[in-house]
């Protein structure tokens, strides 16, 4: 063995010497004896496997997907180019039937023309030159091409797809470059949406190869290496993620897998181990040491956030109406084809020769250093038209679209607009867009109406499928200013269209002529009364001129339905007039003032103010009439005292919130009142606001000259009327926004002020900030509710466009999921009246410390939304008195419970004999769990930062909350055995078994939540408590607790049924049955969590009565346990009093029976902190 060992050592030494000699000799020059597998290079195609390289004027990679399939074309990547992008390439496949990316949208109502859907310069353009040979129009909504001819095709047919991609790194790498500022990057493959980039990074000082980046580039396929060589021309030599093993194997660095191809240059020295790209001279791969180079190629993954686009139109002055403003959020996510133009396109329906047209071919270069890009489109039309923008966004080339906006150049020529509904009849095998039927119908309308000399423009708007072979074409007719009244103008147009069906054979008839803004006044009949309905804006619900109230006191109403496109049309009348309704005097006075008494001579503003003060509980119709009178007065606000109107609005904020909400949802009344305040603050001089600070009981207005100041802050006291207003100056530190005493603040940054100076030129800039004491003017039926933040209105008189730089609004809050929101009301982009709602679109929220900081580019009303909570009937508008009372009840109940639990724990510690009984041991475990849960709730509620402390507290709180319910379920089961299945044998190892349920079972939902969420489930929730959030709260807390509550409620019903029917031997049949049954029911109520019934009733009914019951019962759990298990238990009481010795329960059956009866009385009000995050306190 010794000789063998010596020979083995000598052999290894000789082999080592040979290897070193070969390595030394290789340093003298290139190794010319490398195996062919290492030096040979496959055909250098810059395309992925399966693709073909094609070069004419462009370098392209293409693949013909031979597997025929339905529409859409199944290309490998979403950024495929147009089939005919290169005419020389398409010439190769002209005899193939292939899909093209064009589509005609048909649904149950609308029919649209074919348009291009590919991300190119022709996206959205209407296609008119195509073959149509179908017997059914509705089955040919897609398009193929054969020999340069487009053909309407059934989308379910199977055809090939031609997929073309640019092979030029410079043209496909814009996204990677934009997402990695400061680095030179290219796309790692042809799929722009993959988010994989190769970026060049400089090496500094003594950095080694491993210090360059987290992950070196690994071009696993040959074409990727060719992309790198073409993407970084004339660059320095750079490392990438390939290395050589000592035995000559070449591996990728990330997973040590073998390389499948090679690109070595002839100068490669195989003595070294680390691969690098050479870009100058003889480009390719070489091997280098692990230091000494000046750059490395890094593999970088980028993840984008979907872009969005919105359009805005300002009517501040005539010049503003020349432009439509387009706002793009996350502009660098907008796809750019070939690195030339961004794939964002805008459209309008102003054209008389089609339903719509594209007004921009593309958007020019977008800056990469901003999250929001704003540009303007010049308007030429003097009549209203819809404008919208569409585009392609990373990731996945998602189509984004703005909401349509009505805009036009206001040059005092246009008057109003009408929607003409024309019915035409054509065969189902005829394509109306091939015959341009909508253009013919438009021309017929124009010819019939132009003789009235009031027509400004006529154009087709939409094609509607009416059924039974009929189509409905909606044609818009705009009139110019004239001397007719609106009613007379309507009649003139109506008469001019008579007989059109006899003159044009394809026109069946004109069904309706509707105004695009409102419903024309009309008359109806109800219960012996003629009702007069005034001209009403689309989207509005109104009451008749006559006083007409239903039996339940609500007014009879009617709604103007429709939109700008189809016109306004009356709905059916809602309700009928009560025959013998007794109208209160206040209603008669308001009705008389509204219809007959408003004028500047009788001081109608003072009369209204007096009426509002004298009405404490108005009817719905009274509150609505107040809003309507205010609306009439504000339209001539120069003739009335603005301060009186403001005091009137302030007085309405003391009315019942439920009434105000119902009136708003039915008649839009609080939005009307809100508009009164906005109008007053938009014109402070005309409103008579001579002071810079206007104070009323519920509204505070601060008017500031921005030449000297930059904002305002509200220090709210316990009473709103005593709030302190602080002026913020240009040199004021923004730290004041984080002052814990500041309830709300508005601040104009210097950049925003400079923009305002440019906007207003020589005019002094003023800002009016309005603070409201409550949210009663902000009513909606959405799914988000406001918290306790003070609503703010911010208005800069004269500013009617969005700002490039934001205004900052700060609110006090300690909830990390709060969100900034603005109140959207009045008219929408389509000029229809809408009911107000909170909206968070295009407003930035930053929750920092105890503040919510909002950044907005437009000015309106702002507040903070509590996301994920219901704002339906579940929200209670608590008065200050009720809020304080409920807080006091909660604090007192919690102190009593905690004291009771400590007394139980103290009893267990002092008296060993007490804790030997199984029932007392279970109560002890339950008490420990409750005590831990109460302490953890306090800790989790007072952690300010959503960090590791919050995470740990949340996990333990989650565990003890589930454990609490497990112990309650254990106790409920034992009570079931005691009172329902009376003659069961004792359970062996009872404590061990129930401990598994009480202490180990809760680990399951906690573990599942952590595993599924990867530790991301625990954060500060919407109430500032560290706890599971979102779906993890639903499935990890609510679901298991809900199951256990259902079980407990079922057991409670069974127990009480048996007890009340006297089937329980423990009670016997004596005169104390009723008392014992009551005590048992009371204890089981707390034990099984039935106090949560009051919480549910509170959420469903919004009644304060149930809120009081819930707070009282849900906080007394520990105290009730102390009363029943210590004070009312003879054995426990005797231990404390020292009056007698405790006998063994087995030797004292009476004591056992008493203990069992007492054991059945455990409380469970800790459910108040589990089933609803809002109650965990």
DSSP helix/strand/coil, 400: strand
Which of 830 and 785 is assigned the larger pLDDT?
830
Residue 880: exposed, middle, or buried by beta-carbon count in 10 A (0-12, 13-18, 19+)? exposed
1152 near 1146, Cβ under 8 Å? Answer: yes
pLDDT score of 262 more than 80: yes
- Residue 883 φ/ψ, nearest 5 degrees: -60, -45
Which of 736 and 457 is assigned the larger pLDDT?
457
303 Cβ neighbours under 8 A, 6+ residues apart: 195, 395
DSSP helix/strand/coil, 852: strand
For residue 42, count other CB atoms closer than 10 A to its CB: 10
Q: How far apart are CA 827 and CA 672, in angstroms?
A: 12
864 near 817, Cβ under 8 Å? Answer: no
- Where does the pLDDT of residue 764 fall: very low under 50, low under 70, confident under 90, or very high at 90 and above? confident
Burial 1131-1151 (b: 16+ CB within 10 A, else e): bbeebeeeeeebeebeeeeeb
Mind listing the pLDDT tens digit for each residue in 476-513? 999 999 999 999 999 999 999 988 877 777 788 888 99
Percentage with pLDDT > 70 across the chain: 83
Q: How far is CA 927 from CA 904, 933, 954, 1085, in A?
A: 7, 10, 20, 17
Mind listing the pLDDT tens digit for each residue in 171-224? 888 888 888 888 899 999 988 888 899 999 988 877 789 888 989 999 999 999
For residue 968, count other CB atoms closer than 10 A to its CB: 29
**Mean pLDDT for the stretch of residues 763-774:** 89
pLDDT score of 77 more than 80: yes
Which of 1047 and 1099 is assigned the larger pLDDT?
1047
From the list 905, 912, 910, the residue with the least C-alpha distance to 935 is: 905
Q: How far is CA 165 from CA 57, 82, 171, 534, 589, in A?
A: 14, 9, 10, 61, 75
Percentage with pLDDT > 90 across the chain: 34
Q: How far apart are CA 839 and CA 862, in angstroms?
A: 10
Per the prediction, the chain carries an average pLDDT of: 81
Which of 205 and 62 is assigned the larger pLDDT?
62
Angle formed by the axes of helices 604-614 and 620-635, nearest 10°? 160
Of these ranges, 159-163, 429-433, 463-467, 535-539, the one predicted with the greatest mean pLDDT is: 159-163
- Residue 345 φ/ψ, nearest 5 degrees: -130, 145
Angle formed by the axes of helices 1149-1159 and 1130-1137, nearest 10°? 100
Sign of CA dihedral 121, 127, 128, 129: positive
pLDDT score of 893 more than 90: no
Characterize the bridge pairing of strands 142-146 and 149-153: antiparallel
1083 near 971, Cβ under 8 Å? Answer: no
- Where does the pLDDT of residue 1076 fall: very low under 50, low under 70, confident under 90, or very high at 90 and above? low
Burial 909-921 (b: 16+ CB within 10 A, else e): eebeebeebbbbb
Characterize the bridge pairing of strands 295-301 and 238-244: parallel
487 near 416, Cβ under 8 Å? Answer: no
832 near 787, Cβ under 8 Å? Answer: no
979 Cβ neighbours under 8 A, 6+ residues apart: 1055, 1058, 1059, 1064, 1066, 1160
- Where does the pLDDT of residue 40 fall: very low under 50, low under 70, confident under 90, or very high at 90 and above? very low
Q: How far apart are CA 302 and CA 178, in angstroms?
A: 10
Least confident of 54-68, 317-331, 842-856: 842-856
- Where does the pLDDT of residue 151 fall: very low under 50, low under 70, confident under 90, or very high at 90 and above? very high
241 near 259, Cβ under 8 Å? Answer: no
Mind listing the pLDDT tens digit for each residue in 948-982? 888 888 899 999 989 988 988 888 888 888 777 76
pLDDT score of 1163 more than 60: no
Mind listing the pLDDT tens digit for each residue in 1005-1034? 999 988 888 777 887 665 567 888 777 887
922 near 974, Cβ under 8 Å? Answer: yes
| Secondary element (H or E) of residue 66 | strand 59-69
- Where does the pLDDT of residue 8 fall: very low under 50, low under 70, confident under 90, or very high at 90 and above? very low
562 near 538, Cβ under 8 Å? Answer: yes
pTM equals 0.65
**Mean pLDDT for the stretch of residues 376-395:** 89
Tokens 């109520």 correspond to what residue? 1085
Q: Give the pLDDT of residue 88.
A: 93
Mind listing the pLDDT tens digit for each residue in 518-533? 999 999 998 888 999 9
pLDDT score of 251 more than 90: yes
pLDDT score of 1102 more than 70: no
Q: How far apart are CA 1031 and CA 1051, in angstroms?
A: 29
Which of 523 and 853 is assigned the larger pLDDT?
523
- For 231, the token pair is 């993407």
- Where does the pLDDT of residue 720 fall: very low under 50, low under 70, confident under 90, or very high at 90 and above? confident
Q: How far is CA 1034 from CA 1018, 1020, 1166, in A?
A: 13, 15, 18
Sign of CA dihedral 847, 853, 858, 860: positive
**Mean pLDDT for the stretch of residues 986-994:** 83
- For 284, the token pair is 């390719």
567 near 514, Cβ under 8 Å? Answer: yes
pLDDT score of 918 more than 60: yes
- For 666, the token pair is 């039915």
Which of 1015 and 24 is assigned the larger pLDDT?
1015
Q: Give the pLDDT of residue 652.
A: 95
Q: How far is CA 569 from CA 385, 472, 566, in A?
A: 20, 16, 9
Torsion of CA 981, 984, 987, 991, to 10 degrees: 40
The partner residues of 61 in beta bridges, in order of sequence, read 53, 165
Mind listing the pLDDT tens digit for each residue in 408-422? 998 889 999 999 999
Least confident of 107-111, 167-171, 1088-1092, 1153-1157: 1153-1157
- Where does the pLDDT of residue 1074 fall: very low under 50, low under 70, confident under 90, or very high at 90 and above? low
Mind listing the pLDDT tens digit for each residue in 129-141? 999 887 777 888 9
* DSSP summary character for residue 754: H
- Where does the pLDDT of residue 786 fall: very low under 50, low under 70, confident under 90, or very high at 90 and above? low
**Mean pLDDT for the stretch of residues 581-605:** 85
**Mean pLDDT for the stretch of residues 588-609:** 85
Mind listing the pLDDT tens digit for each residue in 802-821? 787 889 888 877 555 567 88
- Where does the pLDDT of residue 599 fall: very low under 50, low under 70, confident under 90, or very high at 90 and above? confident
187 near 168, Cβ under 8 Å? Answer: no
1086 near 1122, Cβ under 8 Å? Answer: no
For the chain, counts of helices (H) and of strands (E): 30, 51
Which of 979 and 76 is assigned the larger pLDDT?
76
pLDDT score of 42 more than 70: no
- Where does the pLDDT of residue 1069 fall: very low under 50, low under 70, confident under 90, or very high at 90 and above? very low
pLDDT score of 110 more than 60: yes
Which stretches of 672-779 are assigned E, i.e. beta strand? Answer: 693-695, 699-705, 709-715, 724-729, 744-747, 766-772
Q: Give the pLDDT of residue 273.
A: 92
Q: How far apart are CA 322 and CA 846, in angstroms?
A: 35
Q: How far apart are CA 335 and CA 396, in angstroms?
A: 10
Which of 117 and 1130 is assigned the larger pLDDT?
117
User: SS3 helix, strand, coil % of the chain, rounded to 5?
Assistant: 35, 25, 40
531 near 548, Cβ under 8 Å? Answer: yes
Of these ranges, 116-120, 177-181, 369-373, the one predicted with the greatest mean pLDDT is: 116-120
Q: Give the pLDDT of residue 1059.
A: 75
pLDDT score of 1177 more than 60: no
pLDDT score of 1050 more than 90: no
Ramachandran quadrant class, 360 (left: phi over 0; alpha: psi -120 to 50; beta: rest)? beta
**Mean pLDDT for the stretch of residues 869-894:** 61
Q: How far apart are CA 28 and CA 189, in angstroms?
A: 38
Tokens 């939005």 correspond to what residue? 671
Mind listing the pLDDT tens digit for each residue in 694-707? 999 999 999 998 98
Q: Give the pLDDT of residue 1023.
A: 58
Of these ranges, 49-63, 809-823, 1099-1113, the one predicted with the greatest mean pLDDT is: 49-63
Burial 984-1000 (b: 16+ CB within 10 A, else e): eeeeeeeeeebbeebbe
pLDDT score of 740 more than 80: no
Mind listing the pLDDT tens digit for each residue in 638-663? 678 899 999 999 999 999 988 999 99
- Residue 418 φ/ψ, nearest 5 degrees: -130, 150
Least confident of 189-203, 256-270, 906-920: 906-920
Residue 665: exposed, middle, or buried by beta-carbon count in 10 A (0-12, 13-18, 19+)? middle
pLDDT score of 1093 more than 70: no
């Amino acid at each position: 063995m010794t000789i063998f060992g010596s020979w083995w050592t000598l052999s290894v030494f000789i082999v080592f010497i040979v290897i070193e000699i070969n390595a030394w000799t290789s340093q003298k020059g290139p190794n010319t004896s490398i195996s062919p597998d290492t030096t040979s290079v496959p055909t250098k195609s810059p395309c992925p496997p399966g693709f073909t390289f094609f070069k004419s004027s462009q370098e392209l990679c293409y693949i013909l997907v031979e597997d025929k399939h339905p529409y859409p074309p199944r290309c490998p990547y979403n950024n495929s180019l147009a089939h005919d992008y290169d005419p020389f390439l398409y010439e190769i496949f002209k005899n193939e039937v292939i899909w093209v990316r064009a589509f005609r949208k048909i649904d149950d109502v609308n029919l649209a023309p074919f348009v291009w859907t590919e991300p190119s310069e022709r996206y959205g353009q209407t296609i008119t030159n195509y073959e149509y040979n179908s017997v059914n129009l509705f089955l040919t909504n897609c398009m193929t091409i054969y020999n340069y001819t487009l053909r309407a095709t059934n989308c379910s047919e199977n055809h090939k797809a031609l997929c073309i991609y640019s092979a030029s790194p410079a043209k496909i790498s814009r996204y990677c470059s934009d997402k990695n500022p400061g680095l030179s990057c290219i796309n790692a493959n042809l799929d722009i949406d993959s988010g994989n980039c190769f970026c060049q990074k400089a090496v500094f000082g003594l950095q080694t190869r491993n210090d360059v980046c987290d992950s070196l580039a690994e071009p696993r396929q040959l074409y990727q290496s060719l992309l790198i060589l073409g993407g970084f021309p004339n660059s320095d030599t750079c490392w990438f993620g390939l290395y050589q093993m000592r035995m000559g194997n070449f591996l990728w660095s990330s997973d040590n897998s073998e390389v499948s191809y090679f690109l070595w240059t002839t100068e490669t020295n195989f003595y070294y181990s680390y691969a690098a790209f050479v870009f100058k001279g003889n480009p390719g791969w070489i091997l280098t040491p692990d230091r000494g180079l000046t750059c490395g190629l890094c593999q970088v993954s980028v993840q984008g956030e979907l872009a969005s686009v919105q359009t805005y139109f300002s009517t501040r002055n005539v010049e503003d109406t020349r432009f439509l403003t387009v706002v793009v959020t996350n502009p660098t996510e907008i796809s750019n084809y070939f690195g030339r133009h961004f794939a964002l396109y805008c459209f309008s329906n102003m054209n008389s020769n089609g339903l719509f047209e594209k007004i921009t071919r593309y958007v020019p270069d977008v800056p990469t250093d901003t999250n929001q890009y704003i540009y303007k489109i010049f308007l030429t039309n003097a009549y209203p038209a819809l404008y919208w923008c569409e585009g392609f966004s990373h990731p996945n080339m998602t189509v984004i679209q703005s909401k349509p906006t009505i805009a036009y150049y206001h040059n005092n020529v246009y008057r109003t607009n009408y929607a003409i509904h024309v019915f035409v009849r054509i065969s189902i095998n005829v394509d109306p867009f091939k015959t341009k039927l909508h253009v013919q119908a438009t021309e017929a309308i124009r010819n019939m109406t132009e003789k009235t000399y009031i027509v400004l423009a006529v154009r087709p708007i939409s094609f509607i499928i009416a059924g039974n072979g009929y189509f409905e074409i909606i044609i818009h007719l705009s009139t110019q200013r004239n001397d007719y009244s609106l009613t007379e103008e309507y009649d003139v147009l109506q008469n001019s269209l008579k007989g059109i069906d006899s003159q044009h054979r394809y026109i069946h008839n004109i069904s309706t002529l509707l105004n695009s803004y409102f419903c024309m006044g009309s008359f109806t009949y109800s219960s012996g009364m003629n009702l007069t309905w005034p001209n009403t804006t689309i989207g509005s619900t109104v009451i008749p001129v006559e006083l007409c109230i239903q039996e339940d006191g609500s007014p009879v109403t009617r709604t103007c339905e429709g939109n700008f496109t189809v016109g306004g049309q009356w709905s059916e009348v809602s309700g009928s007039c009560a025959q013998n309704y007794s109208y209160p005097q206040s209603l008669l006075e308001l009705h008389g003032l509204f219809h007959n008494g408003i004028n500047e001579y009788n001081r109608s503003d003072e009369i209204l103010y007096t009426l509002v003060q004298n009405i404490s509980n108005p009817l719905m119709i009274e509150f609505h009439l107040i809003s309507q009178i205010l609306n009439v007065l504000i339209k001539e606000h120069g003739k009335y005292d603005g301060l009186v109107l403001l005091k009137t609005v302030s007085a309405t904020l003391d009315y019942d919130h439920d009434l105000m909400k119902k009136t708003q949802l039915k008649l839009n009344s609080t939005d009307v009142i809100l508009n009164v305040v906005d109008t007053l603050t938009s014109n402070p001089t005309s409103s008579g606001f001579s002071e810079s600070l206007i104070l009323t009981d519920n509204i505070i207005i601060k008017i500031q000259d921005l030449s000297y100041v930059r904002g305002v802050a509200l220090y709210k006291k316990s009473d709103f009327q005593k709030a302190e207003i602080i002026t913020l100056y240009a040199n004021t530190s923004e730290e004041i926004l984080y002052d814990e005493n500041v309830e709300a603040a508005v601040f104009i940054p210097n950049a925003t002020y400079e923009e305002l100076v440019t906007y207003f030129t020589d005019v002094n800039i003023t800002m009016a900030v309005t603070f409201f004491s409550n949210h009663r003017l902000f009513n909606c039926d959405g799914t988000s509710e406001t918290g306790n933040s003070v609503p703010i209105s911010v208005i800069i008189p004269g500013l009617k466009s969005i700002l490039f730089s934001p205004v900052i609004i700060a609110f006090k809050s300690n909830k990390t999921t709060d969100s900034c929101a603005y109140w959207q009301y009045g008219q929408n982009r389509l000029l229809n009246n809408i009911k107000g709602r909170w909206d968070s679109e295009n407003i930035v929220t930053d929750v920092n410390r105890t503040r919510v900081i909002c950044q907005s580019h437009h000015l309106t009303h702002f507040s903070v939304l509590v996301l994920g909570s219901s704002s339906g009937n579940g929200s209670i508008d608590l008065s200050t008195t009720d809020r304080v009372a409920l807080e006091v009840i909660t604090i007192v109940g919690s102190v009593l419970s905690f004291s009771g639990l400590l007394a139980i724990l103290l009893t267990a510690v002092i008296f060993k004999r007490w804790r030997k009984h199984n029932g007392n041991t279970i109560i002890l475990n339950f008490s420990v769990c409750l005590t831990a849960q109460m302490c953890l709730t306090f800790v989790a509620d007072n952690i300010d930062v959503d960090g590791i402390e919050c995470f740990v507290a949340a996990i333990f709180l989650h565990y003890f909350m589930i454990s609490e319910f497990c112990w309650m379920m254990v106790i409920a089961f034992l009570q079931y055995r005691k009172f329902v299945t009376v003659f069961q044998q004792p359970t062996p190892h009872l404590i061990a078994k129930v401990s598994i349920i009480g202490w180990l079972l809760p680990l399951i939902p906690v573990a599942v939540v952590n595993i599924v969420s990867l530790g991301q489930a625990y954060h500060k929730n919407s109430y500032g408590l560290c706890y599971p959030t979102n779906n993890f709260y639903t499935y990890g807390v609510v679901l298991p607790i809900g199951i256990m509550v259902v079980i407990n409620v079922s057991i409670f019903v069974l127990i009480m049924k048996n007890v009340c029917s006297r089937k329980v031997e423990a009670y016997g049949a004596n005169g104390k049955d009723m008392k014992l049954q009551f005590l048992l029911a009371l204890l089981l109520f707390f034990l099984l969590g039935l106090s949560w019934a009051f919480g549910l009733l509170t959420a469903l009914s919004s009644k304060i009565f149930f809120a009081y019951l819930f707070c009282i019962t849900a906080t007394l759990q520990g105290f009730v346990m102390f009363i029943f298990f210590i004070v009312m238990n003879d054995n426990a009481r005797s231990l404390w009093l020292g009056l007698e010795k405790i006998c063994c329960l087995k030797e004292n059956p009476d004591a056992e029976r008493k203990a069992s009866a007492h054991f059945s009385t455990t409380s469970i009000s800790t459910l108040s902190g589990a089933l609803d995050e809002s109650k965990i306190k």
